[in-house]
Amino acid sequence: MFCTSSLGGREPRVLARFVSDETGLHAERFDQTVGRWVSDSRVAAFLTGQDDWSERISDDRARQIVASWGFSPTILMSPVTEAAKA
């Protein structure tokens, strides 16, 4: 599942993904500076309603966002960055 937040602006500024696998739930943010997913538990606020500007988005919308940032949409399918902590 993907979520985005505009942080109060007009355009998406944060893209987060939530992946569940055999090691647990992964909360990750796409870091535009390094061009990869990084583990970031703060984006859990997107799911709990603590970020007023966040919204769940479709895979297609996530592809559009990363493409607008100059990255290949294939980055959305990259493996999780690290095993979930118990």
Tell me: pLDDT of 66 over 80.
yes
Q: Who's near 17: CB < 8 A, 6+ residues apart?
A: 1, 2, 3, 26, 28, 30, 37, 62, 76
Kindly list the domain boundaries of the chain, sorted by start residue. Answer: 2-76
Q: What is the pTM of this model?
A: 0.87
Tell me the pLDDT tens digit for each residue of 1-46: 999 999 888 999 999 999 888 888 889 999 999 899 999 989 988 9
